[in-house]
Amino acid sequence: MAQVNSDALVFYGATGDLAFKKIFPALFLMIKRGHLHVPIIGVARGDYDLEKLRLRAKESIQRYGNFEEETFARFLELLAFVGGDYTDPQTFLRVREALGAAKHPTHYLAIPPILFPSIIAQLEQSGCAKGARVIVEKPFGTDYSSASDLNKLLLSKFSESSVYRIDHYLGKRPVNNLVFFRFVNSLLEPVWNKKHVESMQITMAEDFGIQSRGAFYDVTGTIRDVIQNHLFQILCNLTMEPPQTLDSESIRDEKVKVLKAITPLRAQDVVRGQYKGYLQEKAVSEGSKTETFAAIRLHINSPRWDGVPFFIRAGKHLPVTCTEILVRFKHLPSAYSSIASKPNHIRFRISPDVTVAFGMLIMAPEEDMASVLSEVQGNPTPFPKEKDAYERVLTDAMAGDPTHFARQDYVEEAWKLVDDYLHSDSPVFAYDPGTWGPEEVNELICPPGGWNNPTLQKK
């Protein structure tokens, strides 16, 4: 049923924070663009009813979306509510009744993973799983074992083609543009290999802390939260081979091949940090060794990338909020090598703005035999009706397009890369908020030529 359009959407956790901040605004835009015209059934525990859900949806869209009355009226026509406990079979019988004649519903589990087993069992017992898809939110497991167990649970009730594992980063247009930019522009492919590329680095910086999310973050940390999923996805987009065809399975096959070619993390390839003041955050355990910063070095053992080091860095309370990629190229041997002051580079900025910049050497002012690095920048402008990440992934899931979702083998291979390290006892170095992490980073995990520290223009 890979290309069958869903005829209903049931989302669990309708009163939760994710629904309020992301799901309601995404559904509203899907309706506005004409991409959603089937029943939307919110399910939640507690004393909610349909009227309360309508008010919460309106507040959500007014705060996080572009509210307008005509579209919201259509939203209300589609919206229904089922209240009840997720362990109660009667709740799911009411869901089945609310689905009416729907034969291919999508069930979106926007809830904590601890509730998945109960809901998945109830979906089957109530008949709600028949002909259905299921969307599950990250985190998809906390290590390889838990991810594998979750996959077994899902695949015992649903086929792989009916399971959609959300990583909203895959719905971001700038992330997917990396693949497009590589393979559509012929000037890159001849130099996109170990012969010409010296190193690649990916930085995901945030200038804020854990923002009252201590209970979640203290059992998660930076590697689990953003590196193992979001930043590995970026790495795959940068390094995958061109797929034979543009169907979703061919594209996802190439991403899995990248992960299988990476050497699992070793202690000498990781530096973890924790910002000073983290231990005083609410719900953080006394003496916690959870990292709020991590820098890792990877190697891809493939004919294209063998010998090229890849560096990934992410953290909280850094100087800016920005996600950026820097690809440095090797110097070509020639008579001019002695005056090539710095290597060429390509810089991709994914957020907060989108930038593609080529770092080129030019003749230094007033000196004929000296060079300086100068960037040529482009700022791709989003289309006027650009989709939000959640709007994109939900639209794709409802249409049966799995391209922007993680497949079972991808999820498990990604966990394999970090699993041994996460279960080891490794040091965590302190760093001052507003700096680029602990000093040990530049001593132990430093790209050739140093880290690229993104800067933002002040508004």
pLDDT tens-digit readout, 4-39? 899 999 999 999 999 999 999 999 999 999 999 999
Q: pLDDT tens, 222-243?
A: 999 999 999 999 999 999 999 9
Q: Do residues 426 and 270 touch, judged by C-beta distance below 8 A?
A: yes
Between CA 200 and CA 198 the distance in angstroms is: 7
Task: Give the containing element (helix H, strand E) for 163.
Answer: strand 163-165
What is the rounded CA–CA span in Å between residue 60 and residue 11? 16
Q: How confident is the model at residue 458 (pLDDT cuts 50, 70, 90)?
A: low
Question: What is the C-alpha separation between 48 and 45, in angstroms, rounded?
Answer: 7
Residues 77/40, Cβ–Cβ less than 8 Å: no
Least confident residue range of 45-59, 156-170, 260-274, 369-383: 369-383
Spatial distance between the Cα atoms of 116 and 136, rounded to a whole number of angstroms: 9
Give the pLDDT of residue 2. 46
Residue pLDDT, tens place only, 259-274 = 999 999 999 999 999 9
* C-alpha neighbours within 13 Å on the C-beta side of residue 84: 15
The Cα-based distances of 110 to 119, 168, 283, 382 in angstroms read 12, 12, 23, 28
Average pLDDT over every residue of 172-180: 88
404 catalytic? Reply is no
Tokens for 413, please give them: 């291979």
d(CA 94, CA 82): 7
**Is the peptide bond prior to 365 cis by the omega test (within 30 degrees of 0)?**
no
Q: Which residues, including other chains, have CB under 8 Å from residue 144's CB and lie 6 or more apart?
A: 412, 415, 416, 419
Alpha carbon separation from 168 to 23, 155, 234, 338, 340 (Å, rounded): 12, 22, 12, 46, 41
- Phi, psi of 215, deg, nearest 5: -60, -40
Q: What is the mean pLDDT of residues 433-454?
A: 96
CA 403 to CA 390: how far, in whole Å? 14
27 is written with which tokens?
Answer: 């559904």
pLDDT digits (tens, 9 = 90+) for 304-331: 999 999 999 999 999 999 999 999 999 8
Q: DSSP characters for 260-321?
A: HTBPPP-GGGEEEEEETTGGGSTTPPTT----SEEEEEEEB-STTTTT-EEEEEEESS-S--
Averaged pLDDT of the chain: 93
pLDDT at 382: 55
CB count within 10 Å of CB 338 equals 9
CA distance 136 to 164: 6
Q: At what angle do helices 408-422 and 248-260 cross, to 10 degrees?
A: 20
Annotated catalytic residue: which of 104, 107, 230, 317? Answer: 230
The DSSP result for 54-88, as a single string, is HHHHHHHHHHHS---HHHHHHHHHHEEEEE--TT-
Cα of 172 vs its chain's centroid, Å: 8
β-pair type (309-315, 293-299): antiparallel
CB 239 within 8 A of CB 394: no
Residue 401 pLDDT > 50, yes or no? yes
Name the token pair of 77. Answer: 């026509």
For tokens 């930038």, the residue is 355
Tens of pLDDT, residue by residue over 90-135, are: 999 999 999 999 999 999 999 988 899 999 999 999 999 999 999 9
Whether 426 and 273 have beta carbons less than 8 Å apart is answered as: no
Q: 197-217: string of b/e by CB count within 10 Å (b at 16+)?
A: bbbbbbbbbbeebbeeebeeb
**pLDDT confidence tier of residue 380, bands split at 50, 70 and 90:** low
pLDDT digits (tens, 9 = 90+) for 275-297: 999 999 999 999 999 999 999 99
* pLDDT class of 334 with cuts at 50, 70, 90: confident
* Burial class of residue 387 (count of CB atoms within 10 Å of its CB; 0-12, 13-18, 19+): buried
pLDDT at 384 over 60: no
pLDDT bracket for residue 138 (50, 70, 90): confident
Q: Are strands 40-44 and 133-136 parallel, antiparallel or unpaired?
A: unpaired
Q: What is the mean pLDDT of residues 422-441?
A: 97
Instruction: Tell me the pTM.
Output: 0.92
What's the first-to-final CA gap in the chain, in angstroms? 49
